[in-house]
A and B are shown apart, each in its own frame.
Chain A
């Protein structure tokens, strides 16, 4: 079993290295995308800086809390789509019947689909997330360790959600627009203070569009550790992986090849 795990990790490592090498073939474009995304994130945080300069506290959230929210959201999303970029946009491949390549190779199909692509701009999110946390939140050593550890769970949740949402293409056909909108909703809600929402909307934000679990809960744990909440986070991340794998393979049984003769690029 240990050998199997090691092989899987080696497979992921090799793919990420190759994806990175391919992206760096266009070195200027690579760094331009990374820099632009980091600058984009910085501009949003600057917006919050302006907002909190005028209104210092909003329902218990201060500027530092929003900085933590953005840092955590950007870092974990960057990790998720930097390493497993396929998770966020494979609906199009399903619609076009372009998964054949993955079906004939002796690797787990889902893992292969999601690791086969890399979002270049995601590295801008990752760099920004860590830099923003270090510079603006000025964390203690303990907070930094928690940030890095919990980001893994955040990334797992982002990947799982992407897999589940994109799998709608197995049933609906052309679902990339839908997936894009739902994923956009998750990102949007993830980056606003959780205390703004209540009632039925809050229930939705902890279930259907789980922004509450992906960012609010981990950021709450960095602010104040709670074993109960930590258990909920671990359970949610584990369950999300189970659901994602189950939904993907259930959908894959409905997959129809597009008989495309193409080299994977």
Chain B
């Protein structure tokens, strides 16, 4: 009787292939809910309209044509970009929280992939898709409300890199908050406060130049600004080489320190997993 030997594919490509499969499966899953995703972009219609009115009133009251180097049109485009970034954030902490509380994490841990790697691939797929949809809707709305503005063509590619690194920093933070479910009753409160810090100190509603001092300097020094303000600013107005290098260095340090902390947290959490029954 012939026997069939089963081989588990090995090597870096096979490893990457697994996460690629998670990525593409998540994209297909999200596309199945395209209607819901489109419905959620209706918030962009409202918030961009509200801020168009707010900035028009503010510029008129100041008698100014530019504030912090931005005119009304640039302010609206800035908001369209920052909203596209912030609204694309999936609820990763909530998913991890549920997995920990329901015990589903025990089943995930025994599967042939890294737990964090699985979530990173799924998170990247969902976030990337949502970002594209939000960006498309935000662009259409900004064109409708204020017309086109000239982007910084040299800044756009750098903005994409900075936005991707910012999303990775955000992933680490959300993953860490989700893991806190091993120790605290409810992580949704921590998640809410973290999200508000990203939105407000990240410069989602106002470019950081508009913040009074010393709040502006503090906000610029925090990692939140590298996730939201920096990519939008780079795409619209560009930035000098020194600032871009400093920005990338800060993101690299944040990733290294944040990654180490989350890894330690994960190791501590994994020791607390109890499996009872099947």
A residues touching B (Cβ–Cβ < 8 Å)? 26, 28-29, 32-33, 35-37, 39-40, 43-44, 46-47, 50-51, 53-55, 57-59, 177-178, 181, 184-185, 188-189, 192-193, 195-197, 201
> For the side of the interface on B, what is the size category?
20 to 34
The residues of A that contact B206 with a CB separation of less than 8 Å are 47, 50-51
User: Quick check: B211 and A50 within 8 Å, CB to CB?
Assistant: yes
Q: Which of B129-137, B190-198, B245-253 sits within the interface?
A: B190-198
Which of the listed residues B54, B62, B189, B200 has the most CB atoms from chain A within 10 Å of its own CB?
B189
User: Quick check: A189 and B50 within 8 Å, CB to CB?
Assistant: yes
Q: Closest approach, in angstroms, between the C-beta of A50 and any C-beta of chain B? A: 6
Q: In whole angstroms, how far apart are the Cα atoms of A51 and B49 in the complex? A: 18
User: Quick check: A39 and B193 within 8 Å, CB to CB?
Assistant: yes
Of chain A, the residue at the smallest CB distance from B188 is A33
Can you list 5 A-B contacts (CB < 8 A)?
A26-B186, A28-B184, A59-B57, A181-B40, A185-B42
Q: Is B100 an interface residue (CB 8 A)?
A: no
The residues of A that contact B270 with a CB separation of less than 8 Å are none
Q: In whole angstroms, how far apart are the Cα atoms of A50 and B218 in the complex? A: 13
Q: With contacts defined as CB atoms under 8 Å apart, how many contacts are there between chain A and chain B in the complex?
A: 88
- With A50-B211, A54-B210, A188-B46 as known contacts, state yes or no: A196 contacts B53, CB within 8 Å: yes
User: Quick check: A197 and B53 within 8 Å, CB to CB?
Assistant: yes
User: Quick check: A43 and B196 within 8 Å, CB to CB?
Assistant: yes
Q: In whole angstroms, how far apart are the Cα atoms of A186 and B36 in the complex? A: 19
User: Quick check: B200 and A29 within 8 Å, CB to CB?
Assistant: no
User: Quick check: A55 and B62 within 8 Å, CB to CB?
Assistant: yes
The residues of A that contact B54 with a CB separation of less than 8 Å are 58, 192-193, 196
Q: In whole angstroms, how far apart are the Cα atoms of A123 and B103 in the complex? A: 30
The DSSP consensus for interface residues of chain B is helix
Q: A33-B186, A33-B189 are known; give 18 further A-B pairs, CB within 8 A.
A: A28-B184, A32-B184, A32-B189, A37-B192, A39-B196, A44-B200, A50-B206, A50-B215, A54-B212, A58-B61, A181-B43, A185-B42, A188-B43, A188-B46, A188-B50, A196-B53, A196-B54, A201-B49
- With A50-B206, A196-B50, A196-B54 as known contacts, state yes or no: A57 contacts B61, CB within 8 Å: yes
Residue among A33, A177, A189, A195 making CB contact with B46, cutoff 8 Å? A189
Q: Is B47 an interface residue (CB 8 A)?
A: yes
- With A55-B62, A58-B58 as known contacts, state yes or no: A188 contacts B47, CB within 8 Å: yes
The residues of B that contact A32 with a CB separation of less than 8 Å are 184-186, 189-190
The residues of A that contact B205 with a CB separation of less than 8 Å are 47
Residue among A33, A47, A181, A188 making CB contact with B39, cutoff 8 Å? A181
User: Quick check: A55 and B61 within 8 Å, CB to CB?
Assistant: yes
- With A39-B193, A188-B47, A192-B50 as known contacts, state yes or no: A53 contacts B186, CB within 8 Å: no
Q: In whole angstroms, how far apart are the Cα atoms of A51 and B61 in the complex? A: 13
Residue among A40, A181, A193 making CB contact with B192, cutoff 8 Å? A40
User: Quick check: B211 and A177 within 8 Å, CB to CB?
Assistant: no
Q: In whole angstroms, how far apart are the Cα atoms of A184 and B39 in the complex? A: 12
User: Quick check: B196 and A29 within 8 Å, CB to CB?
Assistant: no
Of chain B, the residue at the smallest CB distance from A31 is B189
The residues of A that contact B190 with a CB separation of less than 8 Å are 32, 36
- With A36-B192, A36-B193, A197-B53 as known contacts, state yes or no: A29 contacts B61, CB within 8 Å: no
The residues of B that contact A196 with a CB separation of less than 8 Å are 50, 53-54, 57
The residues of A that contact B47 with a CB separation of less than 8 Å are 188
Of chain A, the residue at the smallest CB distance from B35 is A177
Mask: chain B, 47-85; 1 = CB below 8 Å from A; 0 = not = 101100110011001100000000000000000000000
Q: In whole angstroms, how far apart are the Cα atoms of A44 and B49 in the complex? A: 19
